[in-house]
Amino acid sequence: MVAIGIDIGGTSIKGAAVDSDGKIYETFSMPVSKWEPGEVCIRKLTILVQHYIASHHLEDKIVGIGIGSPGTLDVSTGTVNYANNLRWENVRVADLIHEILPYPIKLINDANAAALGEARFGAGKNFATMIMVTLGTGVGGAIVVNGKLLEGNESKGGELGHMTIVVDGEKCTCGRNGCLEAYASATALTREAKKAMLENRDSLMWKLAPDLNFVDGTVPFGAAKQGDPTALKVIDYFVKYLGEGLLNYCNIFRPNVIVLSGGVANAGEFLFARVNQYLRAYNYGYKFTPEVQVVPAVLGYDAGKIGAAALFF
């Protein structure tokens, strides 16, 4: 049993056949641009998929095409209502593909696709309840219970970054204040690093980024790993707020595993050791409540393709 998993990104669309064990075949790819209408783009994609299936002799094995897309989706009709980065409006993806290819099509939010991939075949496999939190420009996430996404009404739940952890706290992009995203995103980490650098001219962070414009999430981690006290304080602050957010998820879901992905998660064991220590220290109900492991995502950029395909397994 094989499904095609497709991941629509801001600059390219990538896809591959995936079998029911999560094994991924050779990847295909095509550029995508906001200057080209969505309909044209999907028609090109359809031809590409048709050739891919033929060249891999998969015609009789394909059970469906799963597509992870950014933006606001109407999953029931397979339509991308609105995707800001691509300037797509009401692109009837499923209908357009069906003009040529007869396979069932399922559309899914791109972040959810990645989470489903990790849950079924990556860092979350063998665990009943997985929370995935993506630490990037913002903080995203998804909840997978027994291999199924928990999406809420109109599939509009899972906004894990927009949980207030400080009422009247830092301004968030969503309009509220004090969201987890305002403390645990790469953006927030960078903000705090810059603030600390301005207050500490002797911080090692200045060696890694001589100009504040060069500061990103890797700067405080790089300096902290070398023992810079200012950077260590920035990381401690970051871990505390991230930890408080993750503890909230533990108390709500009591997941078996929390998977972190996104740029910040690349900080490795230096980050994960601290986060796990924080969660153990403040675990609800002391030893009577099972601990949760926080681990990095393992499927990288394949997670979305595998997860989109997994909609058919």
The least CB distance from residue 108 to a copy of itself, in Å, is 16
Touching a copy of itself, residues 150-169 (CB under 8 A):
150-160, 162-167, 169
Q: For a copy of itself, which residue of 102, 211, 285, 287 counts as binding (CB under 8 A)?
A: 285
Touching a copy of itself, residues 50-89 (CB under 8 A):
72
Determine, following the binding rule CB under 8 A, whether residue 275 of this chain makes contact with a copy of itself. Answer: no
Identify the three-state secondary structure at position 154.
helix
The answer to whether 181 and 161 have CB atoms below 8 angstroms apart is yes
Output 45 or 135, the one with its CB closest to a copy of itself. Answer: 135
Q: For a copy of itself, which residue of 43, 44, 233, 240 counts as binding (CB under 8 A)?
A: 240
The answer to whether 124 and 118 have CB atoms below 8 angstroms apart is yes
Q: For a copy of itself, which residue of 29, 290, 300, 301 counts as binding (CB under 8 A)?
A: 290
How many CA atoms lie within 13 Å of 156's alpha carbon, on the beta-carbon side? Answer: 6
Q: What is the DSSP string of 108-135?
A: EEHHHHHHHHHHHHSTTTT-SEEEEEEE
Output 152 or 300, the one with its CB closest to a copy of itself. Answer: 152
Q: For a copy of itself, which residue of 68, 255, 296, 307 counts as binding (CB under 8 A)?
A: 255
- CA distance linking residue 255 with residue 144, whole number of Å: 9
88-91 vs 2-8, strand pairing mode: unpaired
Q: For a copy of itself, which residue of 88, 241, 278, 312 counts as binding (CB under 8 A)?
A: 241
End-to-end CA distance of the chain: 8
How many CA atoms lie within 13 Å of 78's alpha carbon, on the beta-carbon side? Answer: 15
Output 66 or 245, the one with its CB closest to a copy of itself. Answer: 245
Touching a copy of itself, residues 178-197 (CB under 8 A):
none
Determine, following the binding rule CB under 8 A, whether residue 251 of this chain makes contact with a copy of itself. Answer: yes
Determine, following the binding rule CB under 8 A, whether residue 233 of this chain makes contact with a copy of itself. Answer: no
The least CB distance from residue 126 to a copy of itself, in Å, is 13
The answer to whether 39 and 91 have CB atoms below 8 angstroms apart is yes
Q: State the CB neighbour count (10 A cutoff) for residue 15.
A: 27
* Residue 52: both structure tokens together: 């891919």
The enclosing H or E element of 244 equals helix 229-253
The least CB distance from residue 127 to a copy of itself, in Å, is 9
The least CB distance from residue 151 to a copy of itself, in Å, is 7
Q: For a copy of itself, which residue of 12, 54, 289, 301 counts as binding (CB under 8 A)?
A: 289
The least CB distance from residue 84 to a copy of itself, in Å, is 12
Determine, following the binding rule CB under 8 A, whether residue 27 of this chain makes contact with a copy of itself. Answer: no
Identify the three-state secondary structure at position 260.
strand
Q: If binding means CB under 8 A, how many residues of this protein chain bind a copy of itself?
A: 44
Output 52 or 127, the one with its CB closest to a copy of itself. Answer: 127
Q: How far is CA 291 from CA 27, 62, 164, 187, in A?
A: 38, 40, 23, 29
Determine, following the binding rule CB under 8 A, whether residue 270 of this chain makes contact with a copy of itself. Answer: no
Touching a copy of itself, residues 123-142 (CB under 8 A):
128-129
The answer to whether 237 and 192 have CB atoms below 8 angstroms apart is yes
Q: State the CB neighbour count (10 A cutoff) for residue 304.
A: 31
Footprint of a copy of itself (CB under 8 A): 72, 128-129, 143, 145, 150-160, 162-167, 169, 174-176, 240-241, 244, 247-248, 251-256, 282, 284-285, 288-290, 292
